[in-house]
Chain A
Amino acid sequence: DTGVSQNPRHKITKRGQNVTFRCDPISEHNRLYWYRQTLGQGPEFLTYFQNEAQLEKSRLLSDRFSAERPKGSFSTLEIQRTEQGDSAMYLCASTDLNEKLFFGSGTQLSVL
């Protein structure tokens, strides 16, 4: 499978717990993006990496959110002290700098 892979597909957690999601981009894609999508809305940009460098973070990315891409391959997105408002689909995307941005299937987070 050469697509963008995200794990887990679904995560249910209690408010206040920490969660971590993983994204494996398409092999050799050097740019990796994280988006968040809430019900009835389009995806909103959170952050992106060029190789291992995090180049931009949205104001949507509060201090409780941290993303890493330590070796320039897979990336993790961690949310600390989750809140109910964090419930959303978290989407990862990658590109090799042609015109196309490819998305994974997302991780659906539910905070109870």
Chain B
Amino acid sequence: GEDVEQSLFLSVREGDSSVINCTYTDSSSTYLYWYKQEPGAGLQLLTYIFSNMDMKQDQRLTVLLNKKDKHLSLRIADTQTGDSAIYFCAERRDSNDYKLSFGAGTTVTVRA
């Protein structure tokens, strides 16, 4: 099974905020990432957060990290139809290595 866990589906109305949640396994993970994947495509890096941070904001994206609970979330403000995709959470456990462990992905559907 997956070490990183995510809810599988999220449906959101256009213009609303989306919140995608993730729990990871290793309290010593150094960086946590969010990737976006559209159908038939590779993974697009959206944002990442260093483990000593609580929050990171980048335009419409806000990442929140609760290290105590090993919980990560991605908030997308003003969700658009182009945000429909699969979103993957990933943890990087070793600061000397760039091997990432991914969750199974959350499919976000934006409805008009």
Chain A residues in contact with chain B, CB under 8 A? Answer: 4, 6, 31, 33, 40-45, 48, 56, 91, 93, 95, 97, 99-106, 108
Contact = CB atoms under 8 A, between A and B. Distances in A.
B48 A103 contact: no
13 contacts: A31-B98, A42-B90, A42-B103, A43-B88, A43-B100, A44-B102, A45-B100, A48-B99, A56-B99, A91-B42, A100-B45, A101-B100, A103-B45
B35 A103 contact: yes
Contacts, number: 55
A108 B40 contact: yes
A56 B105 CA distance: 25
Interface of B is mostly: strand
Contacts of A104: 42
Interface residues of B, number: 23
B4 interface: yes
B43 interface: yes
B43 A103 contact: yes
B42 A42 contact: no
Contacts of B31: 99
B2 interface: yes
A42 B102 contact: yes
Given A56-B99, A101-B45, A104-B42, 12 more contacts: A33-B98, A42-B102, A45-B101, A48-B99, A91-B42, A93-B43, A99-B31, A100-B45, A100-B48, A101-B98, A103-B45, A105-B42
B2 A42 contact: yes
A33 B102 CA distance: 14
Contacts of A42: 2, 4, 88, 90, 102-105
Interface string B1-32: 01010000000000000000000000000010
B41 interface: yes
A108 B50 CA distance: 32
B5 to A, nearest CB: 11
Interface string B64-103: 0000000000000000000000001010000000111111
